[in-house]
Structure 1
Amino acid sequence: MWNEGNASVHEGQFIRYGGHNSLRGFQEDIFKSDFVSISNFNLLFVPSRMLHLYAFTDIAFDKKFDFKFSSGLGMRQKTKYSVMEISFGWPMEEAFSRGKVHVKFTSLLD
């Protein structure tokens, strides 16, 4: 249990974030909080319907206004039956070498 004032939050009720689906450039679910706000900004370049290239910036802050920033580049390739997405993001407060490569495969089965 975690207590803040009179409110108790069970460990299982925390929101876990970080990684490809929330805050790219960080490990998956490395952060946890009972409140978090995440914004993802993507600048898309679409050379074809099946290929998207993008630059991104992700921003998150928790209940204590602990801000996390990351930026990076990525690509999304779509086929008839799947989507493959690869992105490289790095935390803006850390060295470029601390960045993470995220790979995501999605099946489009009917």
Structure 2
Amino acid sequence: MTFDDVRKFALTWPEVEDGTSYGTPALKMRKKMLVRLKEDGDSLVVPDVPIDERTMLVESQPRIFYFTDHYADYPIVLIRLSRAKRAIVEPFLRRRWRGLASKAARAAFDAGA
């Protein structure tokens, strides 16, 4: 996968828009970051992932999910796009989208899904 692949499916969801964060491409919703591209150009930075969930993801799929020392104390997980498949990334990001979306956006999405 690439960030462009992520953009293609995520921009079809209500309230998602292009942006930047820390000088890298990002997808935002309602002034909050949904996800951004890490400076390495191959990893997604996904915020608001509880530490216990991150631990489980990293232990179960270390080729895809990881974190660096910089993010050790933050509820963030990194996803290696070059090793990830859409079948893993899209549902993971959709869950984050649902947490950020307005009730109206979720209802509209669910009605069309």
TM-score normalised by length of structure 1:
0.30
Q: Which has the higher helix share?
A: 2
Q: Which has the higher strand share?
A: 1
**Larger RCO of the pair (alpha carbons < 8 Å, separation 6+):** 2
Larger radius of gyration: 1
